[in-house]
């Protein structure tokens, strides 16, 4: 019976990993629905390729860089590895939506080699892993259970760097005006967002690390409950705010609001009482409603709202732990959270910007104007998502 905990926790990690991997089709469907039909194959190819590249890099070098060794006493090391590997794909999938409809596949795959093999593992190293900053001035005392900062804002900062270097889609901002490019398939957007929502239960629940005792089982259940609550209130607030401000219920924004709430809760879903996540998720959803038009004003073209969902709420969620769950005796303080946000921001943004800038010199990230007009499905993949003759206007 002494193996019981080991077996249960291994099973738990494998189950959580499976849920997290459901977020890969989640991102893919969300993005496929939000782009124009001429770019659907391309966005799906990017999603699949970078998921494979990042996970493979994590297997080859990333895991060891992050955790120092392949050892785990609490569960099968293979399950521990798979659980961690499931996260790296999320970091890069966050990027793929924000750069869609103009990014070329080869340069972003190349950047993903760095992201999966170096940038993300180093962020994990200093937060959850071996901690090469231990004892230095920069040593992080940030509480980030499932990665509001480690995953969401990490992906967000890299995305911001990519968007700044690539520029907007052709025709998106004309004569200082915003040219709206509507989504092509709302049912896919809904499917994708709800798959992400379900995946989040593994993302946050699994991050508790163990379920094989009564206390841990309670913590896992509370974590998943709080995660869900924040998604609900994010969706509700986004819907209410959109209606108050524009008199319209825009489902793409309501879902972004839900995802914003889910990102915001991710840093500390195990720390809050059952009602606090209502407020944290609501602020997350509200931030999305205000951030989406703001990024548009700044001409940072983000077709899916990934900056608003993952970057803005990654920061908010990490700070929220410092506001709502500060426990100085346990080392959780607002300043500690802020420092974690800042250190990761400076590191990820600087390294990503430099890497993308250099790759961009040899392999331009942005497809040419003519290629964008024709659609990346044809120019990048040679395969249109919807080749038949219908609704071809």
Residues that bind another protein (CB under 8 A): 178-180, 182-183, 242, 245-246, 248, 250, 252-253, 289, 292-293, 296, 305, 391, 393
Pick the closer one to another protein by CB: 130 or 178: 178
Pick the closer one to another protein by CB: 249 or 357: 249
Least distance to another protein, CB of residue 253, Å:
6
Least distance to another protein, CB of residue 185, Å:
14
Least distance to another protein, CB of residue 245, Å:
7
Pick the closer one to another protein by CB: 246 or 357: 246
CB-count burial class (<10 Å; 0-12, 13-18, 19+) for 202: buried
CB pairs under 8 A, 24+ apart, for 71-75?
74/5, 74/6, 74/9, 74/209, 74/210, 75/6, 75/9, 75/10, 75/12, 75/13, 75/210
- Among residues 284, 315, 327, 349, the alpha carbon closest in space to that of 141 is found at 327
The answer to whether the CB of 59 falls within 8 A of the CB of 77 is: no
Least distance to another protein, CB of residue 290, Å:
9
Pick the closer one to another protein by CB: 104 or 172: 172
- Among residues 267, 268, 264, the alpha carbon closest in space to that of 280 is found at 264
Q: DSSP letters of 189-218?
A: HHHHHHHHHHHHHHHHHHHT---SSHHHHH
Helix (H, G, I), strand (E, B) or coil at 140: coil
Least distance to another protein, CB of residue 256, Å:
8
- In the numeric block, the tokens 């998106």 are attached to 172
Rounded distance between C-alpha atoms, residue 189 and residue 258, angstroms: 13
Least distance to another protein, CB of residue 346, Å:
30
Pick the closer one to another protein by CB: 84 or 252: 252
Pick the closer one to another protein by CB: 115 or 304: 304
């Amino acid at each position: 019976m002494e193996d019981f905990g080991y077996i249960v926790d291994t099973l738990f990690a494998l189950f959580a990993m499976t849920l997290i991997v459901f977020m890969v089709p989640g991102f893919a469907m969300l993005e496929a629905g939000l782009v124009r039909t001429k770019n659907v194959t391309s966005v799906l190819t990017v999603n699949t390729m970078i998921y494979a590249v990042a996970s493979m890099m994590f297997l080859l070098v990333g895991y060891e860089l992050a955790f120092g060794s392949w050892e785990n006493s609490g569960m099968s090391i293979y399950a521990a590895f798979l659980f961690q590997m499931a996260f790296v794909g999320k970091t890069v999938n966050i990027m793929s939506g924000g750069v869609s409809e103009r990014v070329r596949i080869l340069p972003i795959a190349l950047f993903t080699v760095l992201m999966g093999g170096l940038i993300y593992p180093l962020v994990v190293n200093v937060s959850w892993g071996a901690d090469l900053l231990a004892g230095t001035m920069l040593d992080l005392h940030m509480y980030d259970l499932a990665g509001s900062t480690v995953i969401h804002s990490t992906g967000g900062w890299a995305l911001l760097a990519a968007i700044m270097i690539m520029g907007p889609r052709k025709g998106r901002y004309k004569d200082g005006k915003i040219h709206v490019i509507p989504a092509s398939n709302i049912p896919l957007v809904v499917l994708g967002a709800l798959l992400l929502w379900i995946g989040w239960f593994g993302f946050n629940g699994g991050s508790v690390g163990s379920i094989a005792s009564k206390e841990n089982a309670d913590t896992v259940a509370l974590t998943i409950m709080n995660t869900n609550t924040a998604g609900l209130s994010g969706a509700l607030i986004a819907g209410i705010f959109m209606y108050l401000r524009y008199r319209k219920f825009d489902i793409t924004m309501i879902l972004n609001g839900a995802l914003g709430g889910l990102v915001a809760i991710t840093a500390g879903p195990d720390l809050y009482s059952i009602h606090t996540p209502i407020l944290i998720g609501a602020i997350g959803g509200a931030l999305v409603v205000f951030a989406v038009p703001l990024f548009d004003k700044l001409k940072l073209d983000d077709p899916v709202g990934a900056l608003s969902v993952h970057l803005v709420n990654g920061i908010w969620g990490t700070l929220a732990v410092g506001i709502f769950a500060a426990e100085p005796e346990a080392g959780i303080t607002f300043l500690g959270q802020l420092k974690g946000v800042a250190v990761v921001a400076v590191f990820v943004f600087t390294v990503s910007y430099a890497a993308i800038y250099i790759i961009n010199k040899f392999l331009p990230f942005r497809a040419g104007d003519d290629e964008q007009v024709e659609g990346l499905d044809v120019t990048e993949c040679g395969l249109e998502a919807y080749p038949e003759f219908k609704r071809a206007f």
